[in-house]
Structure 1
Amino acid sequence: MRDGTIAVGVDGSLESLAAADWAAQEALLRNTSLRLVQAWEWKVHPGALAPSNDTQRDWATRLLHEAEERIKSLHPELAVTTELASGTPVAALLAASADAALLVLGSRGLGGIVGFLLGSTGLETLAEATRPVVLVRPGEQGQSEPERSPTSGREVVLGLDLHRPSDDVIAFAFEAADRRQAPLRVAYAWEVPPVHRYASGPGHDTTPRQEDEEREALTEALRPWRSKFPDIDVGEAPVCGRAGHHLVEAAARAGLLVIGRRAQNPGHGTHLGPVAHAVIHHARCPVAVIPHK
């Protein structure tokens, strides 16, 4: 049975500590509890000597306790629980996300390039999760960045697909902006079919009429949501071009970027699509990935 708990995967890394910090503040925003999840079964490479089960469990228990103490010291008013799960990290995280409102994962930056770098655990969890997942990276000094906290009031950016709009994705973004008392910027990019580009000639990828039609479609799609959330300052950012590039640019100074992911049948691999791939690797802010049909 699902509840409002925020679940976060912890493994002792700086990335997971940043994720735990973000998740704690999100739990406070939602007036709910936080669950720290640690899986103790290590993935051992062929030929390597595996630590004993007792050693793995003791190590995981210590890391989980340290993370719990850290969060409680920072947020004594927050209800925090822990879960030491046997099995692989992916299985533990997916099980935790199934019972929670939100799963939060840490991700490290791409060296000198600001963005996310997900390992196999993160990619598999993200691709198979049936609940929203938020990716958080650490700051320059290995800590979560205060200006990117959920309570900062910085704008929320929604990447909208007008061809297959999802109420779940749109609702998540509006509710996030509402909790933060932050403006919402709705980014939408469309690409002109190649046959139109060839017919128009170089330098004429789109026409004023096409732009007007796309803007009108975006306004109509948002009309019922503006009525439902009248206090939110909603801005529209439609452009002709690549969606992934546009979203990364639109969210350069945002507090949160929200995108959708079409849910696949279990066991269909870790394919996320080009837009999601571009966003989760290069966005500067936390990214919420919302699965939908």
Structure 2
Amino acid sequence: MNHPVTVGLDGSPESLASAEWAAGEALRRKLPLRLVHVRPPAPPTPPGGVDIHHWEEKLLRENREALEQRHPGLSVTTGHITDQDPVHALLDACDEADLLVLGSRGLSGMAGFLLGSVAMATVARAAKPVVLVRAATAGAGAPGATTPAAGGREVVLGWDVRHPNDALVEFAFDAAERRGVPLRVVSAWAPAPALRYEPTAAAGGNLEPSTEELARERAETLEGLLRPWREAHPGVEVIPRVPLGSAGRELIEAAEDASLVVVGRRRTSGLHIGPRLGSVAHAVLHHVSAPVAVVPHD
């Protein structure tokens, strides 16, 4: 059974942009697309004060028809989940999906983007990958009026080589391969505090590895980890980078020409209570305009 690419739809420009992005992704994956509207326990009055059920059906129907028209060959289904907490509803939908896609609201270029509490909680707890998409324009809300933020050429992967995992890397290589674009792998690092100096000759010479030596070691480690993935995906051009600095900041800079940014999230373990979303994922989600995929891993 093929699980669909599922998108949460609420009528906002961001959710309409995420539906458009999800349609393209479903075609790339040769999967159906499912549009889902989540009705909270006490649904607000929709625009114009119309009946909530009528508005909900109209929202799903019009967007399904518009997406099918713009993307011939795409199979689109719709559904709504009622009488549940929105986060629980989206998590249930995610469990039955290949990928969950949600919208992210824009603030200013300096402040970044607003990730609502529902989206944040869903990303932090989902068992499957979740992609956050922001709208390129604040359209009127009609189907097709709002498009995803324009992406660039590359897929960018943020990878901590100290904790390699297959799920994250496979997702990124697969995304680059399906798009026919290069994969930029960013593994930022910083030396341990004790190594943040260069000993003088008077002090006995270089007793510790220099920053340059550590950078070479990091690059060699990354190349070694990438070797089997290059062999498995020979058509993907890989651009490895091991910049010295904050992982979040380096990923944000690398994402300027990205069509997709891929970061990981550790699944909740027995040692921690509640969902966890690391500082790097936080930074990328709030400051990168390209779609961001958060991939859960052990």
* TM-score interval, normalised by the smaller of the two chains: 0.7 to 0.9
Cα 1:193–1:146 shift into 2, 3 Å: closer
Query: What is the match of residue 281 of structure 1?
Result: 286
Is this contact kept in 2: 1:192–1:206, CA < 8 A? Answer: no
Residue 127 (structure 2) pairs with residue 119 (structure 1)? no
> Residue by residue, what CA displacement relative to the aligned partner does 1:50-72 show, whole Å, maximum 9, x if unpaired?
669x9433332222222222212
* SS of residue matched to 1:252: helix
The letter of the residue matching 1:58 is: H
1:231 aligns with 2:235: yes
The match for 2:256 is: 252
Q: CA deviation at 1:113?
A: 3.7
SS across alignment from 2:18: helix
Question: Structure 1 CA distance, aligned partners of 2:248 and 2:268?
Answer: 20
Query: By how many angstroms is 1:167 displaced?
Result: 0.3
Corresponding position: 1:37 with 2:36: yes
* Paired residues of 1:134 and 1:288 also in contact (CA < 8 A): yes
Aligned residue runs from structure 1 range 1-293, under 5 A? 3-42=2-41, 55-86=51-82, 87-113=84-110, 115-142=112-139, 143-145=146-148, 147-148=150-151, 154-197=153-196, 207-265=211-269, 268-293=273-298
User: CA separation of 1:200/1:274 partners in 2, compared to 1, >3 Å: closer, same or farther?
Assistant: farther
- The one-character-per-residue Cα deviations of 1:142-189 (angstroms, maximum 9, x if unpaired) are 4224743xxx7x111111110111100000000111111111110110
Tell me the residue number matched to 1:47.
none
- What TM-score results when the alignment is normalised by the length of structure 2? 0.87
In structure 2, relative to structure 1, the CA distance for the partners of 1:145 and 1:100 (3 Å cut) is closer
Amino acid at match of 1:63: L
Aligned-pair RMSD on alpha carbons? 2.5
SS at match of 2:61: helix
* Offset from partner CA, 1:65-98 (integer Å, 9 cap, x none): 2222221222232100001111232122111110
Q: What is the distance in 2 between the residues matched to 1:117 and 1:51?
A: 23
Cα distance change, pair 110–200 in 1 and its aligned pair in 2 (3 A): farther
CA 1:225–1:238: 2 relative to 1, 3 Å = same
1:115 to partner: Cα distance: 4.2
Q: Structure 1 CA distance, aligned partners of 2:288 and 2:150? A: 15
Structure 2 residue matching 1:140: 3-state secondary structure: coil
Structure 2 unmatched runs, 5+: 140-145, 201-207
- In 1, Cα distance between equivalents of 2:81 and 2:266: 28
Moved more, 62-71 or 247-256: 62-71
TM-score between the two structures when normalised by the length of structure 1: 0.88
Work out which of the two has the higher radius of gyration on C-alpha atoms and give 1 or 2. Answer: 2
Does the 8 A contact of 1:34 with 1:78 survive in 2? yes
- Paired residues in the alignment total 280
The alpha-carbon deviation at position 206 of structure 1 amounts to 5.5
Gap runs ≥5 in structure 1 = 45-49
For residues 81 and 57 of structure 1, the distance between their equivalents in structure 2, rounded to whole angstroms, comes to 17
- 8 Å contact from structure 1 (residues 160, 187) kept in 2: yes
Q: Which amino acid aligns with 2:58?
A: R
